[in-house]
Copies of this chain bind each other. A is one copy, B any other.
Amino acid sequence: MVAARADCSRRKKNEEADAVTNDTDPATVERAPRLTKAAVGLVRPVIEGVRPQVDCGRYPAKASIGEPVIVEADIFCDGHDALSCEVRHRPPGARGWTSVAMAPLGNDRWRATFPTKDLGRHRFQVVAVIDRFASWRRDTLVKANDGQDVAVDLALGAQLLTGAAVRAKGVGRRALTAYAEALAVAPRGLETTVAHDPLLSEGAPLRTVADLLQAPELEHLLWRTRDLGAAAVGPELAVFVDPERARFSAWYELFPRSAGMRGGRHGTLADVEARLDEVAAMGFDVVYLPPIHPIGTTNRKGADGGGAARRADPGSPWAIGAREGGHTAIHPELGTEKDLASLLRAARRRGIEVALDVAFQCSPDHPWVREHPSWFRHLPDGSIRYAENPPKRYEDIYPIDFETPQWRELWDELAAVVGYWIDQGITVFRVDNPHTKSLAFWEWLLAEVKAKRPEVIFLAEAFTRPRLMYRLAKIGFTQSYTYFTWREAKWELEQYMDELTTTEVADYFRPNFWPNTPDILPAHLQHGGRAAFLSRLVLAATLSSNYGIYGPAFELQEHVARQEGSEEYAHSEKYAIRNWDRERPDSLAGFIGRVNRIRHENPALHHNRTLRFHHCANDALLCYSKTWLVDPGSYLGEGVTHAPSDPNAVLVVVNLDPTYEQSGILELDLAALGLDPGRPFDVHDLLTDAHYQWQGPSNFVRLDPSGVPAHIFRVHHPEKAGAKR
């Protein structure tokens, strides 16, 4: 019932024998040796600063299918001994750990990656031990090079190899024993030729002891027989693996009641189904519907949310609940559960998921108001308190009182609502204003749902202060609305993206960028014309791997606010049925479709981890890139099945000025793009299909807002063109 909290056992060293999971590459993925109980006084390595780690391990970090987990830690010990460091990881339900060796990055920082093939909570742990053989080998080679006598050292090395042989089995034991004997009797020190090289096939050239000590085969044998007896063990941490759509998605929000094919008629779920081909042609993969439940009549808001409703006013879909039912009912004018099921089937055939809204609040006519009066706050005069944000009042909505003494009963009922829609086939939810409801409740609810259905995605619609936005992500929301909607200037966008992609925020907060929503028509869209719509779309779709638009308002460039200085749409669809002319020739549907196709075809745009900004002296030109596979060691680990076979680098330039042509010289960070400064490279504008050949970091661009105010370039050296996707 109560939110699952990371318990103390997380910090306990796991000292049991571990089973082995099968894995593909025996060179790096190995049986994790038994951790034996060692006296704490003999444990010498120190493990600090393990990442990803959210709030000291209180919450899991986020990952997704196809996105390897990158684990880093500071690892060191007293003195000068070499270390052997590894990450043990364990997918949900697995019986044992799998180990992968970590590589040193310098300055005592180590890194390893492990693949994510299963949904749900994976555990991992850093383990480090003194590498006695590597320490011995380094010192012995230095002494031999200095001309010192190493006879005693060779005997010491033989002891170490004998110890490894004892821990080995079969061929390994025989080979290590043979090595130990070779060292013990090497009459001419390191230059002695090994008579019977146990690792070489017949007829191979003989090797010296010095060669053998550095042979990869020996390295591998020693790794397999490493002694974890006095290992340091880091905290057991978790990473939650979501489906790929959690990382890479394009959302399209529409009001079903405006989806009618004929003007003015109340649209239905069947109308939405009929529109799916249009949405698919634009390349979206999530269709998000505002609440589809019955709407209250008491204190119903009229047009533009002002005054009382007239008879024809449909009310706000967020004033949930009426005689026909509450959060598990469908508005009768929209259709039935059968219609919803049909919509879901049709959407899935097109690779689209339908997202529903979770808005835990009630109209005064909601059945819960009658059945569970204690779930609402009562005033001294006996009335129920409606929603207010003084001096504003929302008389058509009763907030739920999460401080009710019946909170356990309430939580169960709300969880049942989500469970109900999951049973209807919904796997994506947009949660309305989660920051005004109990955080403890969300933490519990999301854990409950994901324990059984790890594929379910929750988007947090919170536009509030940074700490609270981030907290929602920590406690389990899959994706989050952001401040992107109001970030306009180059420095604002660069600073915000740096916060989202290069700090620890990137470990748990997945941005979903929206240029507009039914609540927000930002000033730049009101006044910037077509160029503003195009540039904001490109920014949202390429800065963030998750983004969405509220349509058809967006593609039809709806830009009139309720009044000057307001961000509310005039004739807001929140309170009215809108009759959209989707066939208008100025519709941006074609452009949007092209941008979404570019996104799909370029894996660089499927994540945010490699985002880099490039310098341009003109502050109206924003230039950035994303790559895939530029640095395989730092990003992709073993077992990533859908990685492209060639690097993918996308360079975006956006003119932030919707009025004037802007030009400037880009100063590209070629290394970040995987480009060789000495060779020319192809620059292919995927929006216009224009091709250019550039060389070196400095290149000229000019963008005219009367045409396409952005470049989305695919860049690569010409000889790799054949491998281009």
Contact = CB atoms under 8 A, between A and B. Distances in A.
A467 B42 contact: no
Contacts of A57: 56
A41 B467 contact: no
Given A11-B8, A78-B436, A468-B108, A407 B156 contact: no
A93 B222 CA distance: 52
B78 A152 contact: no
A204 interface: no
Q: Which 9 residue pairs spanning A and B have beta carbons closest together?
A: A8-B8, A146-B391, A56-B56, A155-B380, A142-B390, A108-B467, A139-B390, A41-B407, A79-B436
Nearest to A8: B8
Contacts of A487: none
A148 interface: yes
B435 A78 contact: yes
Nearest to A2: B40
19 contacts: A8-B8, A41-B407, A41-B438, A41-B441, A76-B465, A76-B467, A78-B437, A79-B435, A79-B436, A79-B437, A80-B389, A108-B468, A139-B388, A142-B391, A152-B380, A152-B381, A155-B380, A159-B380, A230-B403
A48 B469 CA distance: 13
A57 to B, nearest CB: 8
Nearest to A9: B8
A107 B440 contact: no
B380 A156 contact: yes
Interface residues of A, number: 62
A408 interface: yes
Contacts of A148: 391
Interface string A44-55: 101010000001
Interface in A519-544: none
Contacts of A41: 1-3, 407-408, 411, 438, 440-441, 444
Interface in A423-467: 435-441, 444, 465-467
A376 to B, nearest CB: 15
A620 interface: no
A338 interface: no
A390 B46 contact: no
Interface in A1-17: 1-3, 8, 11
Contact of A403 (B42, B156, B390): B42
User: Which of A46, A155, A389 is most buried by chain B, counting CB atoms within 10 A of its CB?
Assistant: A46
Contacts of A402: 44, 78
A74 interface: yes
B146 A438 contact: no
Given A2-B41, A142-B391, A440-B40, A156 B465 contact: no
A439 B46 contact: yes
A725 interface: no
B108 A465 contact: yes
Q: Copy number of this protein in the oligomer?
A: 2
Given A107-B467, A139-B390, A440 B44 contact: yes
A465 B77 CA distance: 11
Contact of A439 (B44, B152, B390): B44
B380 A44 contact: no
Contacts of A380: 152, 155-156, 159
Nearest to A439: B78
B407 A471 contact: no
A342 B390 CA distance: 75
Interface in A137-172: 138-139, 142-143, 145-146, 148, 152, 155-156, 159
Nearest to A43: B440
A379 interface: yes
Contacts of A39: 2, 407
Contact of A3 (B40, B56, B152, B468): B40
A466 B80 CA distance: 14
Interface in A354-411: 379-381, 383, 388-391, 402-403, 407-408, 411
A380 B154 CA distance: 10
Given A46-B471, A142-B391, 5 more contacts: A40-B440, A74-B467, A78-B435, A79-B437, A108-B467
Contact of A381 (B46, B139, B155): B155
A181 to B, nearest CB: 14
Nearest to A383: B152
Contacts of A411: 41
A471 B78 CA distance: 10
A139 B388 CA distance: 9
Nearest to A75: B467
* Most chain B CB neighbours (cut-off 10 Å) among A78, A152, A389: A78
Nearest to A379: B152
Contacts of A74: 467
Contacts of A388: 139
Contacts of A78: 402, 435-439, 468
A253 to B, nearest CB: 24
Contacts of A8: 8, 11
Interface string A1-36: 111000010010000000000000000000000000
A380 B80 CA distance: 21
Interface string A458-501: 00000001111001000000000000000000000000000000
Contacts of A436: 78-80
Nearest to A1: B41
B143 A390 contact: yes
Interface in A252-284: none
Contacts of A1: 41
A702 to B, nearest CB: 37
A85 B57 CA distance: 24
A408 B40 CA distance: 11
Which of A43, A108, A379, A440 has the largest number of chain B CB atoms within 10 A? Answer: A440
A151 to B, nearest CB: 8
A438 B78 CA distance: 6
A145 B1 CA distance: 43
Contacts of A107: 465-467
Interface in A616-661: none
Given A107-B467, A108-B465, A438 B391 contact: no
A91 to B, nearest CB: 26
